[in-house]
Amino acid sequence: MDFDALISGLDRHTLDGITRGSIYALVALGYTMVYGVMKLINFAHSEVFMVGTWTVLGVYTVLGVSAGAGLGMVIAATLLALVGAMIASAGTALAVERIAYRPLRKKGAPPLIFLITGIGCSMVLVELFGQVFEVFFGPPFGRVTVNIPSVLETKELFTIPGIDLTITNTRVIIIVGAVLMMLALDTFVNKSRLGRGVRAVAQDPDTASLMGVNQNRVIMLVFVLGGAMAGVAALLYTIQYDITKFDIGFIIGLKAFTAAVLGGIGNLRGALVGGLLLGIAEVYASTVWSSEWANVTAFVVLVVILMFRPTGLLGESLGKARA
């Protein structure tokens, strides 16, 4: 154990944890919104994130951009990759809802069937990118890690005096971008007309239907919004790590689901709190022990907190959110 390393670089490690946790929190929004409305854990959501990372790679490849490109090209490529990832991830999430979940809802299937279906959809998407697409299209598809062009080069912006903490452009983009997207989603759900429909269905689906709220449209909207947030997370992830893989969504999705439960499943702000706390705990554990302890620490933190707060840190459901 090396607590001296943690204490001496506490500010830097905390910033690293916030950066990592911001990505977890964005992906967690998809889990928490679907659960808040449908009381369903959508285990295919991790692959929605994976599709977003491949879309970023596709956009960069088509545009032919790489490190060293001009500022205008970098901005344009990043924005196009963002829009492309959001559309692709939202479209994938919507397809999962329409093809897999909606027929089950119409037949009144029990919750266990939804759970198994979600796992099945996840496996199908993984195998598409890991094997099927490789057969038809060849590289870069396949069961290998693929590098994504480092379009946005990491540059030091400034150093905070007194603590000698260097702030880079990539960290600012990841943290600020994640917070802005979460604020936008929270405002949409709590202030807009469509958001009121989401909260109504989350609180009482039957009464909402009697009041004229279309449940199918609300559920579609929830999947699209959650998918779009996963697309944003995919771009931010590629900015930080520059890689993708056919199963890259598995561990990220698991961590994001943990963050959602940690903050209070069904609570948008809880997803943010859970994601940030999880990211910081992982980085601290990696510093004190080693990187192999990061995953263990994530679930130990979850278990300990749920022992004292079974509903998560915030615990308020989506249907009880106040405007």
Position 36 in a domain: yes
User: What's at 217, amino acid-wise?
Assistant: R
Position 172 in a domain: yes
Structural domain containing residue 120 = 3-308
Position 188 in a domain: yes
Position 315 in a domain: no
| pLDDT score of 24 | 95
Reading phi first (left if > 0) and then psi (alpha if -120 to 50, else beta), residue 234 is in alpha
Torsion of CA 207, 211, 217, 223, to 10 degrees: -40
For residues 54 and 244, is the Cβ–Cβ distance under 8 A?
A: yes
Q: Each residue of 108-141: pLDDT tens digit? A: 889 899 999 999 999 999 998 888 887 777 777 7
Position 319 in a domain: no
**CATH code of the domain containing 45:** 1.10.3470
Position 323 in a domain: no
Position 291 in a domain: yes
Q: What is the DSSP string of 149-176?
A: ---S---EEEEETTTTEEEEHHHHHHHH
* Ranges of the chain whose pLDDT falls below 50: 322-323
Q: How far apart are CA 291 and CA 277, in angstroms?
A: 17
Position 178 in a domain: yes
* Total of domains in the chain: 1
pTM score: 0.91
| pLDDT score of 152 | 85
